[in-house]
Amino acid sequence: MKKKWIEPQILVQEFVPNEYVAACGDKNKVYKFKCTADAGTLYYYPQGDGTIDGIYRGTGKAKELGSYQPCGTEHDASATDGFYDGYVYTSSYEGKFPWGHWVENRTPVIVWRGKYGNNGHATTNLNMSEWTTAKS
Examine residue 104 and state whether it is found in any structural domain, yes or no.
yes
State the Cα–Cα distance between residues 56 and 109, nearest whole angstrom.
10
CA 41 to chain centre: 19
Examine residue 19 and state whether it is found in any structural domain, yes or no.
no
Instruction: Give me the sheet containing 40-44, strands edge to edge.
Output: 63-68, 40-44, 83-94, 101-112, 121-123
Residue 117: exposed, middle, or buried by beta-carbon count in 10 A (0-12, 13-18, 19+)?
A: exposed
- Per DSSP, 3 falls in state P
Instruction: List pLDDT tens digits, range 43-83.
Output: 999 998 989 999 999 999 999 999 999 988 899 999 888 89
Q: Which domain holds residue 100?
A: 28-128
* Torsional sign, CA 45, 48, 52, 53: negative
pLDDT of residue 6: 78
Examine residue 100 and state whether it is found in any structural domain, yes or no.
yes
What pTM did the predictor assign? 0.74
Structural domains of the chain, count: 1
Examine residue 12 and state whether it is found in any structural domain, yes or no.
no
Examine residue 21 and state whether it is found in any structural domain, yes or no.
no
Examine residue 41 and state whether it is found in any structural domain, yes or no.
yes
Output 85 or 24, whichever has higher pLDDT: 85
pLDDT of residue 28: 80
Residue 69 near residue 90 (C-beta atoms within 8 A): no
pLDDT of residue 24: 52
